[in-house]
């Protein structure tokens, strides 16, 4: 059986889930992405520290806000923002 892989990195999957549900718990993100809660916690922490998302309390839960103008952190992507990538994925899903 061929190894399963995904086009998006684990970080990309977490970002997409946050875009779809900004009030999701770490457990909900983990269940949706197939990652462990510990991995999701670490990814959310890295995204927060990197300036890609911000975390704020809503009652007893956390909610996340995506910085859509954050520039991807790799020389190959030049000045591509998270919003640019999100638009490509959104447009592709609407074309079906």
Whole-model pTM? 0.81
Q: pLDDT-based confidence at 28, cuts 50/70/90? A: very high
Average pLDDT over residues 17-26: 90
For the chain, which domains are there? 10-94 (1.10.10.10)
Q: pLDDT-based confidence at 79, cuts 50/70/90? A: confident
Average per-residue pLDDT in the chain? 87
Whether pLDDT at 90 is above 80: no
pLDDT at 19: 84
Distances (CA, A) of 61 to 20, 47, 56, 87, 91: 16, 18, 9, 28, 31
* Cα gap 17→26, rounded to integer Å: 10
């Amino acid at each position: 059986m061929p190894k399963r892989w995904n086009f998006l990195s684990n970080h990309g999957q977490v970002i997409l889930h946050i875009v779809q549900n900004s009030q999701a718990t770490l457990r909900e993100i983990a269940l949706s992405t197939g990652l462990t809660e510990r991995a999701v916690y670490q990814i959310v922490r890295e995204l927060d520290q990197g300036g890609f998302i911000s975390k704020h309390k809503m009652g007893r839960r956390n909610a996340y806000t995506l910085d859509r103008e954050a520039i991807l952190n790799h020389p190959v992507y030049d000045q591509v923002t998270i919003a640019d990538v999100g638009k490509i994925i959104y447009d592709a899903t609407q074309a079906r």
